[in-house]
Every structure is written in structure tokens, then in C-alpha cells.
Amino acid sequence: MIGKTTSHYRILEKLGEGGMGAVYKAEDTKLKRTVAIKFLPPEVTSDPEARERFVREAQAASSLDHPNVCTVHEIDSTADGQMFIVMACCEGESLKDRLQRGRLALREAVDIAAQAARGLARAHAKGIVHRDVKPGNIIVSDEGTVKIVDFGLAKPAGRTS
């Protein structure tokens, strides 16, 4: 995948992988910016429920405009039907990785929690429940800005399974 171009996105490196797909850092060749692209796994692409969940992630996250929520730019699919979502590339490290290095100072922990709470409050105000808030889905920049990522399990509030 590295070095290939999908739509107008040149794949630069793999950032990670989870249950709903692999995430890559890419260059948006039209707007000359760095983005993150999450691809739905090929074996899941044919599953209508998984495709719906992927679309729901894009719709939920794209309806949010908040400094503590990762911005979604686009959802599309490759020529062979593999779906992908294009998001802002949130530079920094996951809270999970940060915690593996050691305990947080009280002030830093409170600041991270407060920023995450503000992002989640915006989501909840829009009727969106993340449903998978965990240290691996919180990115902390070098400047201390928190971004909530991966709305893959998000649901509109009040919707039952």
C-alpha cells in the first residue's frame, strides 16, 4: 500500500490497524496537506453491516466541528470497491502510548480529561455517542492538544442495537 495513490491521496506510511481497518498517513495531492486514511478491510467490504458502520463513523465524525475531535474530510471507495475515510492527520501520540511511558502529572491528567470531555460534550450535544472512548482513541499533540479519534462504534443517541 505504501507509495500507492488512491483517488488523489498518496500513501506515505502505515499508522496503525484495528478491528475496522488500517490507517495510513497520506499526502492529499490536490490540497497539499497531510491526512490520515482509514481503509475498511477487503474481507469486510462486502458485508453490508460493516459498510454501514463505516459510513456511520464518517457521518458522525464529519458532523462535529470541535478542536478536540478529529476532522473528517471525505468518505469514498477505491476502484475495486474498498471503502475509505479521509481525516485530519492528528500528529502526536495516543494517550495509551503516553501512559505506557509512565504516570501523568495531575495537572496534565486533568487537562487531557477536560479536553476529551469538551469534545465528547460536543458530540453528545449533536446526539452522537462515541461508545469506544479509550486511551488508544485519544491523541495528544506535542503542544498538549487532545483529539478524539475513531468514531467507528458511534451511534446516534437513543438508537438501539
Q: Alpha-carbon distance 24 to 17, whole Å?
A: 9
Residues recorded for the chain: 161
CB 58 within 8 A of CB 72: yes
Cα 136 to Cα 38, 49, 76, distances in angstroms: 15, 24, 25
Q: Is 65 labeled as catalytic in the residue annotation?
A: no
Query: Cα(44)–Cα(92) distance, rounded to whole angstroms?
Result: 29
Q: Are strands 138-140 and 146-148 parallel, antiparallel or unpaired?
A: antiparallel
Q: Which residue is catalytic, options 111, 132, 142, 150?
A: 132
Do 39 and 24 touch, CB atoms closer than 8 A?
Answer: yes
What are the φ/ψ torsions at residue 88 (nearest 5 degrees)? Answer: -60, 145
What are the grid coordinates assigned to 100, written together? 505506557
What amino acid positions are annotated as catalytic residues? 132
